[in-house]
Structure 1
Amino acid sequence: MKYQLVVIALVAASLVGCQANPVSGRQQLVLVSEDQAQASSAQAYTQTLSEAQKKGNLSTDAGLNNRVRRITDRLIAEAKLMYPPSRDWQWSVAVIDEPTLNAWCMPGGKMAIYTGIIQKLKLSDDEIGQIMGHEIAHALLGHGRERMSRAIAMQGGMQLGSILAGRDLSILAPVADIALTLPNSRENESEADRYGLELAARAGFDPRAAVRLWEKMSAASGDGPPQFLSTHPAPGNRIQALNALMPQMMPIYEKAR
């Protein structure tokens, strides 16, 4: 009975916090407001750049910085059309001089890309456009707020379950992470692939570059972990899904050119 009460409480919290995303239309668990997400992201962004500055890891390559800014400016212009509230975001992009193969965009448009992914993969402008389009799509689709909300729900669920069960259930957290968090993260990644591809196409970046990009990423990272334990779709599945979108995206790209 106690476990049934836990399930009922979690389902009730999920129903209260669910709302349709204005871009994708998908129902999301949203327990964190946009203002809260942006404030938290702005603080984390400032801290990240401050630490990079102290380590001398903020890129001073004017040509590279201008290149990245030129690409992201085109994407931001289209993002404001895709999701009008983003017109009020304080957009910003930094180039961090570290070897990691990574890029990201926080809620509110705080972005970064690492020199490692640009240099190691010898990325073209179209490929950088695809990477940053994907990352911006995460922000437009509210995935940051969704992740924060799921973390709150899981933490609250564990605490509530421990009280009702009369014992510590935190040992179940890794199981809950695999059962709940990772599948949704893969869904978010696939969603960002689709809308990021469209965003980049509208900005005039070749959709076919997304396939080339993930082929390079696959070659650079090897087989990686099994898809079941990965927050990203398996490279082969991802490339197959991107190829399936080409008939829809190429006309958008051709028109934007």
Structure 2
Amino acid sequence: MYTLRAGLRSAGRATRPLATPRPQFQRVPSFHPRRSIYQRPRYRRFDDKRGGQKQWDNYQGQWSNFGPVYRAQYLWRSYQKPIIIVGTGGAVFYVYNLEEVPITHRRRFNILSPESEKGISEGTYQTTLEQFKGRILPANHPVTKQVARVVERLIPTTGGLAGDGWRVHVIEDPSMVNAFVIPGGKVFVFTGILPVCENEAGLATVLGHEIAHNVAHHVSERLSRSSLTLIASMLFTLIFQVDTRVSNSVFDLLLSLPNSRTQETEADHIGLLMMAEACYDPREALAFWERMKKTEKVAPPQLLSTHPSSYNRIDHIKKWLPDAQNIYVDTGCGGLSHFANDFRQTMRSQRPKNVQVQVKPAWRGKTDDDDFF
């Protein structure tokens, strides 16, 4: 019996179909996302060299070890799109506001209209009157009349400025060799410059130069450029981490002073042509600057001055003199030499006796072109 049962079990196992083996799957390791090498750290200081800085450097390139270049890199990489937008808009605005200076055709940046220039200068005029109150000669004084006479001859050559309310003021100060014209036709002449002028044509040289500043609207140009200089100075301070005074001095030396000398040279050129058109012999301008050069006892280097040196001015006038002479001849000027004699007689009659004139140097370290002749 037991033998039969064992045989049946063996036969059943032999006839049972083989079981299908279970598939064996390879274990897949779990996925842990890593920070992309192109992902910049969220917070990072200039001097932060930890965290994702190394990966960011591999993508963007090496950071400079030189502080100013490093800060410039940081600004560009952090604010690239705003810098491009602002820079493009600023360039378009700059080009749109470029204009030509009359006569010389120099291209310059200017955002102020002549009316705005006059409005801004009105406060300067009132301040000047208060400053020299009690020292301004009356309108019926012979010297004031002589200066007004020269101005009246020069006004027709100013073009659009002929309609301004021109007023002439002569300030009694024998020690000040200076003259200036505030936009709007406000003329100021110090008596100290009259002996250097020597004659009416010499005075026309001075007034032609100062009026030429108004013809070229140099005040508007200077105010317009000051905004660009201020922005450049702020960026320089940020990148180089220097004091604001140092930044201002750098841009004065590199931008403001050269532009001021350019304006002065331009005023000499325009003024020379104006005096020739007003029937003043332009050769007298050359003689005037020769006399002015002799009075300059102390003068700063031209690189540090708002004005060109008298030597350079004389050299420029020699180059412009043929054109001025042609204007003088074409205008048909002649028989006007008696004006010079009238001027000499007026100056002799008004000059105080036994008074020594001490010439003060015109330079005072200012950057305003119209402050000093």
TM-score range, shorter chain: 0.7 to 0.9
- Aligned letter for 1:64? V
Whether the aligned pair in 2 keeps the contact of 1:158 and 1:169 (CA below 8 Å) is: no
Of 182, 206, 222, the residue aligned with 2:281 is 206
1:232 aligned residue: 307
For residues 75-94 of structure 1, the aligned pairs below 5 Å read 75-79=154-158, 83=159, 85-94=160-169
> Could you tell me which residue of structure 1 aligns to residue 225 of structure 2?
150
Q: Deviations over 1:176-234 (max 9, x none)?
A: 00100111111111111111000001111111111111111111113611121122222
Superposed, which structure 2 residues align to 1:42-191 within 5 Å? 42-53=122-133, 56-60=134-138, 62-79=141-158, 83=159, 85-98=160-173, 99-119=175-195, 121=196, 123-159=198-234, 165=239, 170=244, 171-191=246-266
C-alpha spacing 1:86/1:122, structure 2 compared with 1 (3 Å): closer
Please give the per-residue CA displacement for 1:16-36, whole angstroms capped at 9, x wherever unaligned: 432223443221111222222
Helix, strand or coil: the match of 2:130?
Answer: helix
Equivalent residue of 2:132, what SS? Answer: helix
1:1-60 alpha-carbon deviations (Å, 9 max, x no partner) = 43895994765653343222344322111122222210111221122012211xx21023
User: Could you report, residue by residue, the CA deviation over 1:85-106 in whole angstroms, capped at 9, with x for unpaired residues?
Assistant: 2133222221111221111122
1:14 to 94, 98, 117: 94
Q: Give percent identity, aligned residues only.
A: 31
Q: Which amino acid aligns with 2:141?
A: A
Name the CA shift for 1:63/1:157 in 2 (closer, same or farther; >3 Å).
same
SS in 2 for 1:118: helix
- In 2, the alpha carbon distance for the partners of 1:138 and 1:178 equals 22
The structure with the largest helix share of the pair is 1
TM (norm. structure 2) is 0.61
Paired residue type of 1:147: R
- Unpaired segments ≥5 residues, structure 2: 1-71, 335-373
Q: 1:211 to 1:156 in 2, by over 3 A?
A: same
Contact 1:94–1:111 at 8 Å: present in 2 too? yes
Instruction: Give 2:107's match in structure 1, choosing from 24, 27, 30.
Output: 27
Contact 1:127 1:210 in 2 (8 A): yes
After TM superposition, what 4+ stretches of structure 1 lie above 6 angstroms from structure 2? none
Q: Which residue of 1 aligns with 2:116?
A: 36
Report the Cα distance in structure 1 between the residues aligned to 2:242 and 2:112, rounded to whole angstroms: 26
Give the aligned length: 249
Q: Residues of 2 paired with 1:256 and 1:135: CA distance?
A: 23
Partner of 2:307: helix, strand, or coil?
A: coil
The one-letter amino acid paired with 1:195 is I
Aligned-pair distance for 1:128?
0.1
Which has the greater radius of gyration? Answer: 2
Correspondence 1:250 to 2:325: yes
Q: CA RMSD in A?
A: 2.6
TM-score with structure 1 setting the length: 0.86
The DSSP-based 3-state class of the residue aligned with 1:256 is coil
**Higher RCO (C-alpha 8 Å, min separation 6):** 1
Amino acid across the alignment from 1:27: R
After TM superposition, the structure 1 = structure 2 runs for residues 186-197 of structure 1, keeping only pairs within 5 Å, are: 186-197=261-272
Structure 1 alignment gaps of length 5 or more? none
